[in-house]
């Protein structure tokens, strides 16, 4: 069985992402210490994010709105409007951070391109994801760019139809068990999990240990060899 289509996540698979969200979260916790303990503020933020995802979607803009909501919940009427200004500045920093590629990404993409068509499959705010891709310098390496609101089984089925490939001749690789691995497997594709330190708790899910089309990799550079093993 040869793989014709190789799908890749972007954030924390090709370039660093969560380290910037974590820095924004730490800044928020520092702002809110006069009103709540760090753990309480973190739990409140996580609850706000989970509640707001269906409304705002994924990305820095929705996260900034959730930070503002968290601050208003915890500080109430005593909150200085300067805190809102600080949160907005943290959000702007999150949107404007430099794109830092993970190790060996360019060489790995070149190796993968010799094995099949490459498609970037990422979720989040369209403008921000397009800006990060442009800043990365990696766009020309992909046959297709798919920026979606979420990654579900149907997302991958439609993608495989669009690129004219059978599911069992497609592979997906990324750092999210919930968004990259599980739905791709359910759609009939192969899937590789490439975990990164500091991953978002929302993206955690049970690992499909023993699944015949699943592989856990230590780093993305191992992906070409796994694609060869499938073939």
User: What does the pLDDT read at residue 76?
Assistant: 87
The gap between the terminal CA atoms of the chain, to the nearest Å, is 5
What is the distance between the alpha carbons of residues 210 and 135, in angstroms, rounded to a whole number? Answer: 38
Domain 5-16+100-230's class? alpha beta
CB 49 within 8 A of CB 92: no
Rg of the chain over all Cα atoms, to the nearest angstrom: 19
DSSP state of 102: P
The correct CATH number of 18-96 out of 3.40.50.620, 3.30.70.260, 1.10.150.240, 3.40.50.300 is 1.10.150.240
Q: What angle do CA 124, 126, 129 make, to 5 degrees?
A: 70
Dihedral angle, C-alpha 149, 150, 153, 156, nearest 10 °: 60
What is the distance between the alpha carbons of residues 156 and 154, in angstroms, rounded to a whole number? Answer: 5
User: What does the pLDDT read at residue 196?
Assistant: 85
pLDDT tens track, the chain, 231 positions: 589 999 999 999 999 999 999 999 999 999 999 999 999 999 999 999 999 999 998 899 999 999 999 999 999 887 888 999 999 999 999 999 899 999 999 999 999 999 999 999 999 889 999 999 999 999 999 999 999 989 999 999 999 999 999 999 999 999 999 999 999 999 999 999 999 876 666 777 789 989 999 999 999 999 999 999 998
User: What does the pLDDT read at residue 78?
Assistant: 79
Q: What is the pTM of this model?
A: 0.91
Domain-by-domain residue ranges, the chain?
A: 5-16+100-230, 18-96
């Amino acid at each position: 069985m040869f793989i014709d289509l190789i799908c890749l996540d972007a954030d924390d698979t090709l370039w660093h992402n969560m380290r910037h969200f974590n820095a924004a979260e730490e800044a928020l916790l520092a702002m809110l210490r006069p009103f709540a303990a760090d753990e309480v503020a973190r739990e409140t933020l996580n609850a706000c994010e989970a509640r707001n995802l269906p409304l705002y979607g994924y990305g820095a803009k929705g996260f900034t709105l959730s930070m503002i909501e968290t601050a208003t919940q915890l500080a109430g009427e005593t909150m200085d409007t300067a805190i809102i200004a600080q949160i907005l500045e943290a959000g702007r920093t999150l949107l404007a951070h430099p794109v830092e590629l993970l190790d060996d990404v360019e060489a790995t993409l070149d190796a993968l391109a010799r094995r099949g068509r490459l498609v970037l499959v990422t979720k989040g705010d369209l403008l921000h994801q397009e800006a990060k891709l442009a800043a990365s310098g990696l766009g020309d390496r992909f046959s297709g760019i798919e920026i979606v609101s979420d990654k579900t089984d149907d997302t991958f089925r439609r993608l495989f139809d669009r690129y004219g490939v059978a599911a069992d001749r497609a592979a997906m690789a990324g750092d999210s068990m919930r968004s990259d691995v599980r739905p791709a497997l359910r759609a009939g594709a192969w899937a590789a999990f490439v975990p990164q330190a500091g991953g978002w708790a929302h993206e955690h899910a049970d690992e499909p240990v023993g699944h015949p089309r699943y592989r856990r990799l230590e780093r993305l550079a191992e992906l070409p060899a796994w694609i060869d093993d499938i073939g």
